[in-house]
Structure 1
Amino acid sequence: MSSGVALRLRTLQRHLGSPEGRGMEPGSSPLTTHVLDTASGLPAEGLCLRLSRLEDHGQQWTELRKSYTDPDGRCPGLLLPGQMKAGTYKLSFDTEGYWQKRGQESFYPYVEVVFTITNGTHKFHVPLLLSPWSYTTYRGS
């Protein structure tokens, strides 16, 4: 394995397994996300995302927040404590804009992750692993 590939792999493993990504301080946002650029093995800094909630009995998305990932690929404060309620939410990631800024062609112009929250008192973490040709997401902790 080349030293560049090994470095990217160690960086990716560090971010996936870091304590900062798994836990949140008391009083912090009940909903967080973390985006990793798996093509480079680095955090996806500056990626635009929008958080919306499905309203009006499933007919209308209401945008709650527009934000950008920080230098560590995180967007920790999507909602304020007490702001989350049970319902269906959507995180929309502007992947086309992210890859264009890097001069990289990509297949997916955006990624939408739709999820249901049944208990507004729990904390939720929605990671996104991103490459120009694929993405993976899961419910993190």
Structure 2
Amino acid sequence: MKPSALSTHVLDTANGIPAAGMALEFWRMEPVPVLLAQAVTNADGRTDAPLLSPEGFRPGRYELRFDVGGYFAARGEDAGYLGTVVINVGLREGSGHYHVPLLCSPWSYSTYRGS
């Protein structure tokens, strides 16, 4: 069985750069919501360590909460449309590494399961 873990990174698609300095939270949602980690993305738009290691992995529903509005406001850009972007994911044991990228601009975002 493949060990499971979770990582993320954020790309600022409006400016064509990694979203350095974006605050985010990582929550386990079951059986009750619990904040597991808070982080700020590094110069490459990534967290310095995985948000969920293979040792701490438990199957279930999780949320990543990205402060997209705060990131664009800190850059002096219009942040009136998006605030916190929430991505809710279901993680299964033995499914390998989960990578959740966020591609964002002040007015839109997208995500996918990366590798």
Asked if TM exceeds 0.5, the reply is yes
Aligned residue pairs, count? 111
| Mapped pair 1:79 → 2:52 | yes
| 1:53 paired residue number | 28
TM-score normalised per structure 1: 0.74
Map Cα deviations across residues 24-59 of structure 1 (whole Å, 9 max, x no partner): xxx9x8211010000110000010000001122xxx
Q: Which one has more relative contact order, counting CA pairs under 8 Å at least 6 apart? A: 2
- Provide structure 1 residue ranges, at least 5 long, that are not aligned to the other structure: 1-26
Q: Could you list the runs of 4 or more consecutive aligned residues of structure 1 that deviate by over 4 angstroms after TM superposition? A: none
Let me know the Cα RMSD of the aligned residues.
Answer: 1.7
Greater shift in the superposed pair: 130-139 or 69-78: 69-78
Gaps of 5+ in 2: none
8 Å CA contact retained: 1:86, 1:119: yes
1:118–1:81 distance in 2 versus 1, CA, 3 Å? closer
Identity among equivalent pairs (%)? 45
AA paired with 2:96? H
Partner in structure 1 of residue 73 of structure 2: 100
Q: What TM-score results when the alignment is normalised by the length of structure 2?
A: 0.89
